[in-house]
Copies of this chain bind each other. A is one copy, B any other.
Amino acid sequence: MPKEYYYIGEQSLIFPREVYLISSASVVGKKEGEGPLGNAFDMICGDDKFGEDTWEMAESSLQKEALSLAIGKADLNPEDVRYLFAGDLLGQNIATSFGLMDYEIPLFGLYGACSTAGESLSLAAMCVGAGYAKTVAALTSSHFASAEKQFRFPLEYANQRPVSATWTVTGSGAFVLSQKKSDVRITGITTGKIIDMGIKDSMNMGAAMAPAAADLIAQNLEDFGRSPEDYDKIVTGDLGYVGQEILISLLKKKNIDISDVHEDCGILIYDKETQGTGSGGSGCGCSAVTLSSHYLPKLKDGSLKRILFVPTGALLSTVSFNEGQNVPGIAHAVVLEHAKKET
């Protein structure tokens, strides 16, 4: 008889069946390719329009390429993938809709701002873990130019940016999940609530998202009965330098010290000194391409045994912002572990 329920603690889950991450891919733009992780990405495109007419279609191409590569690396065909769990930052998820249309795979469209990388992996893992599919894929994207146009100013304005502003990553990360054993296993998830600390500055996303990350990390540790040292790394999505400081200090107030194990994808992806990227990278694509290119290889070879991957999102639109609303945050965490292949 199956166990009755699989939830643990307040906000976490484990799965009835083992869930493996069997392949992944990262596709990025020129600037990301010139950054510290440049050698690790699967594809770097010199033309940020990816041969398309618009920034939005360029972002669609990112998703299309990333999924194609991830499916190919898993030695599968698109028809072997039963569900897609995907999203992006644009209004009405258009990068996703137009990017994934040609695959003709049933699609669950998701929106959790930059936390969507965690949300998509969570739902994909829940799906595989329940026996709802043999193979599914999770993917997200962002594009500097489509995001600037959507949320800030068109690039042609050449506006100045405060140092607290983050730089939206041009990139897409795709992940194929299956019950088929591989070197990396998803062993649990912790799902976030919306946390509103009254931040109103859309040029300081790190501050808006850090409280949600702090809340979620504390909850994950409590739910799983772990301390920060039980993770080789606790990796947030795109808090940047400003958000990292706030996160560490918020958790210290709860007597949790993650300073030794914390890393942030937004900090890793650019060279602050030479790339002029302000507080760091951000966007749905930031954490996804960093997980795929930087952390998964280390989880595969066992140099990392267990990490907590915590993409963070800032919940705003230009409408909510212009109407004077706060910028609340949300975070969704996935526990990833090295798993020795039994073949």
Contact = CB atoms under 8 A, between A and B. Distances in A.
A153 interface: no
Given A92-B317, A126-B127, 12 more contacts: A2-B131, A6-B132, A16-B131, A89-B92, A90-B319, A91-B92, A94-B320, A101-B328, A104-B194, A107-B192, A108-B112, A129-B130
A150 B317 CA distance: 12
26 contacts: A2-B16, A3-B131, A5-B131, A13-B132, A16-B16, A16-B131, A83-B191, A89-B92, A90-B317, A90-B319, A93-B111, A93-B315, A94-B316, A94-B320, A94-B325, A97-B328, A98-B325, A101-B194, A105-B193, A106-B193, A107-B191, A107-B192, A109-B119, A123-B123, A126-B130, A130-B132
A139 interface: no
Interface string A1-43: 0111111000101001000000000000000000000000000
Contacts of A316: 92, 94
A56 interface: yes
A56 B148 CA distance: 23
Contacts of A119: 108-109
A130 B192 contact: no
Contacts of A104: 193-194
Nearest to A93: B111
A82 interface: yes
A133 to B, nearest CB: 6
B108 A110 contact: yes
A323 interface: yes
A119 B86 CA distance: 13
A131 B2 CA distance: 9
Chain A interface bracket (under 10, 10 to 19, 20 to 34, 35 or more): 35 or more
Contacts of A318: 91
A115 to B, nearest CB: 9
A53 B127 CA distance: 40
A92 B132 contact: no
A271 interface: no
Given A316-B92, A320-B56, A111 B98 contact: no
Given A5-B131, A109-B110, A94 B319 contact: yes
A315 B92 contact: yes
B110 A192 contact: no
Contacts of A317: 90-92, 94
Question: Nearest 5 CB-CB pairs, A to B?
Answer: A91-B91, A130-B130, A92-B317, A106-B191, A97-B315
